[in-house]
Amino acid sequence: MSGCEAEKLQGSLLEAYRCLQCYDAPCRKGCPAGIEVDKFIRLIHKGDFKGAALTIEKDNPFGLICGVICPQESLCQKNCTSHKLGQPIDIKNLQRYALETARQEGWGNAALNRKEIPVQRINIAGDISLFQPEQGNNGKVAVIGAGPSGITCALYLKQMGYQVEIFEQTGALGGRLTQGIPGFRINRDMLISELKALTNALPIHFHRTFGKDITLSALKELGFQGIYLACGKWQEKTLSISGGNLDGVYTCTEILTGNRWLKGKHKKAAVIGAGNVAMDVAGTLVAGGVEEVHVFFIGTNKEVTAWQKEREDAWQKGVLFHMLAIPEAILGQGGKVSAIRFQRSKVLAEENGAWNVCSLGDQFNFTYPIDMVVTAIGFDTQQELFSAQGIQLNPSGHVVVDDFLSTNIPEVFAGGDMTQSGSFTVVRAVADGKRAALHMHKMLRKGGC
């Protein structure tokens, strides 16, 4: 063992020793996937890293990935009793270290070797159910989407004996994991390796778009008795202002996937939006050599939706923030972006706790010289595809589900960010996949959720 490895080991053991091992384990309640946080920390303290890895991955197949990118400071670590006393236990890095150790020792992913756990257990915050793996169910289930939620659902259903097939609209695994998270946040080689291991035994059909290449009626004709929709949100919201067709205007996906923009081509960028995606875009531009990166947002710091850590990381990279700015027009010279004009805004609080903005008037407008504009104001579901299949949507365009993740169509479930607005995390997607698998199993075996 090298000196660095020994230092990491000692640090992990000392951090695990700090855990108070609370009787009611509030940290566990803060994990959407229901990981037994107190148990895996106790096992780390004993030096049982294999046991810790098994404990994590039996409840979260994406445990290592979450150990890198999960906002645990607002979930399990926020609930940690030590947080109230001063410094919370560093759950995120303990989880990451245990699973990195598991990979180094060749133990593999516990989610793929469940026979080591005699009684299988789906732990979901607020819904814990025990079940025995059942072989020979002979039921067929289709999962639409090869992101964290879809893969998790497929893994649990396969473990329960179902024949599962995944249909993915792109040509890649992982959904937003591989097509939206920049390289400075997660090691891409590790990410691809984890995804390949998780899906190695799952039949996946790529380039199959729900509502176009595959429909509910076609899937039922093929004998699928249950369907889980985990398609995600892929339709980018755009700015309805002039100048959007100028050279130098990009979508956030084009930046994060590196499909169009050329590093070194631009010097001064404006990023429109203040969510986590906007922070990722800003960081990517800085890493790509853009000299000045400015983030513009219609609200104040209070309304910013990006996690605090993401904002702090952007600030540390030199990103500049401008609040109360409504984009009015993108200006250009010779077909290229030269500036962007804003209206100065004011936040209006509404009775239901929501907020809106209004312009202060033309006399407060201002123009900022830039040569690049990136929109990062969110994504919508592909509403027309779901509506055409008879799937009910709410006014915001999200698929309507009940507490069991059932849609208005029998045997069709849905989860992930296509069912909710706001920031959505990998661990919440995993939790939805588990819940859907559990309730679909109950529905197929007993005739009800």
pLDDT tens per residue, range 238-275: 899 999 999 999 999 999 987 556 677 899 999 999 99
Q: Between vectors from CA 192 to CA 380 and to CA 10, what angle results, nearest 5°?
A: 110
Q: What is the pLDDT of residues 330-374, one digit of tens each?
A: 999 999 999 999 999 988 877 676 788 888 888 899 999 999 999
Q: Is pLDDT at 95 greater than 90 in this prediction?
A: yes
Domains of the chain and CATH, by start: 3-124 (1.10.1060.10), 133-235+380-446 (3.50.50.60), 238-377 (3.50.50.60)
What pLDDT, on the 0 to 100 scale, is given for residue 41? Answer: 96
Q: What is the pLDDT of residues 199-237, one digit of tens each?
A: 999 999 999 999 999 999 999 999 999 999 999 998 899
Q: Is pLDDT at 122 greater than 50 in this prediction?
A: no
Residue 410: left if φ>0, alpha if ψ -120 to 50, beta else—which one? beta
